């Protein structure tokens, strides 16, 4: 039996690493698009022990020719576009870069697919940031979008382009509107990892305080390892569609901090300080996803609670920081 093949952009990111492991466990041959950068980016694949099992192809989302070459080389049955400039705060500092990689990058893949590999199934990583200034208390696939950052706007462009290519060119394109999802592989610039890394360093005496911005913002946080399964399930359906992927529970940054600090026996109020530098120009105050459609049509639901997720991340950061502090 011929192995299914998948091409993943953003393979070195959190979701790319977890998705690689999932697909490899399912017997796929996995290829990843790797943009050459000066800093090392493959540590997540090493962490999950899958680096030697995937094939990395050089390419960049801003270069459609390299995407076409990667499609010709890998001949994928499924393409997962997880690549992006994905840090919301950076998108105000670098809006053009964000629009190019996050927005136009998806269009480059869709156009390359149309020309080179139209039979492949395509997954677009959409985001709850597209809801932004929420128009409904709980956001579903039918909730109007109101993005509040260059990142959210760029993702919305990619989201609608996926729908457009689905309806115009019969591309099997699905968008997963994923709410915040975290793991020990999350980048240190994201608030959950910033918190769990600080908890570990404070517990081990390597840090005194944790500076944050709006700790009353609410988010729907899940585990990346759960969410990549929803991505795969979308591309196994008879017809393409879009799905909200979320836990259905929203929690403040303040309570997330409390959970993380409680795990090591510390009171968060003694260590968290508010720094106005970390406030966003336009804040998204609340995000809460309605995953009912994903449960009904995909049979998917989040398995990992926020409490278990925070404990997992704190424990991983404790182990990392201990290694760093070793003489």
Task: Write out the catalytic residue numbers.
Answer: 127, 129, 151
Distance CA 191, CA 73 (A): 37
Question: Which residues 6+ apart lie within 8 Å of 96 measured at CB?
Answer: none
Give the residue from 113, 100, 25 showing the smallest Cα distance to 70.
113
Task: Please count the residues of the chain.
Answer: 327
The distance from CA 122 to its chain's CA centroid, rounded to whole angstroms, is 16
User: In 3-state terms, what secondary structure has residue 223?
Assistant: strand
Distance CA 88, CA 150 (A): 8
The two tokens of residue 292 are: 């009912």
Which secondary structure element, helix H or strand E, spans residue 216, and what is its range? none
Beta strands in the chain (DSSP E): 5-9, 29-34, 55-58, 78-81, 121-127, 172-178, 181-182, 210-212, 218-219, 222-223, 242-245, 251-252, 272-274
- C-alpha to C-alpha distances, 293 to 39, 130, 142, 176, 230, nearest whole angstrom: 40, 18, 11, 12, 11
Question: Which residues 6+ apart lie within 8 Å of 270 measured at CB?
Answer: none
């Amino acid at each position: 039996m011929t192995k299914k093949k998948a091409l993943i952009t953003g393979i070195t990111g959190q979701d790319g690493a977890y998705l690689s492991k999932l697909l490899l466990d399912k017997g796929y041959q996995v290829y990843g698009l790797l943009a050459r950068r000066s800093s090392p980016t493959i540590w997540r694949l090493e962490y999950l022990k899958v680096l030697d099992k995937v094939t990395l192809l050089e390419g960049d989302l801003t270069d459609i020719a390299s995407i076409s070459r990667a499609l010709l080389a890998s001949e994928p049955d499924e393409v997962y576009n997880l690549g992006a400039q994905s840090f919301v705060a950076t998108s105000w500092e670098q809006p053009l870069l964000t629009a190019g990689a996050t927005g136009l990058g998806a269009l480059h893949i869709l156009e390359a697919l149309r020309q080179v590999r139209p039979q492949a199934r395509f997954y677009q990583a959409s985001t709850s940031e597209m809801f932004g200034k929420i128009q409904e208390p709980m956001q579903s696939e039918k909730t109007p979008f109101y993005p509040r950052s260059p990142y959210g706007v760029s993702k919305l462009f990619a989201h609608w382009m996926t729908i457009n290519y689905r309806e115009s060119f019969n591309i099997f394109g699905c968008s997963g509107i994923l709410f915040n999802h975290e793991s020990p592989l999350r980048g240190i610039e994201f608030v959950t990892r910033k918190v769990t890394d600080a908890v570990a360093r404070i517990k081990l005496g390597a840090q005194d305080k944790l500076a944050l911005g709006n700790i009353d913002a609410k988010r729907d946080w899940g585990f990346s390892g759960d969410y990549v399964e929803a991505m795969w399930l979308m591309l196994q359906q008879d017809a393409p569609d879009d799905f909200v992927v979320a836990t259905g529970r929203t929690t403040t940054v303040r309570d997330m901090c409390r959970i993380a600090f409680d795990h090591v026996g510390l009171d968060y109020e003694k260590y968290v300080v508010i720094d106005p530098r970390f406030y966003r120009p336009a804040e998204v105050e609340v995000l809460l996803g309605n995953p009912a459609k994903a449960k009904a049509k995909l049979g998917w639901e989040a398995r990992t609670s926020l409490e278990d997720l925070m404990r997992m991340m704190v424990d991983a950061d404790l182990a990392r920081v201990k290694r760093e502090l070793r003489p």
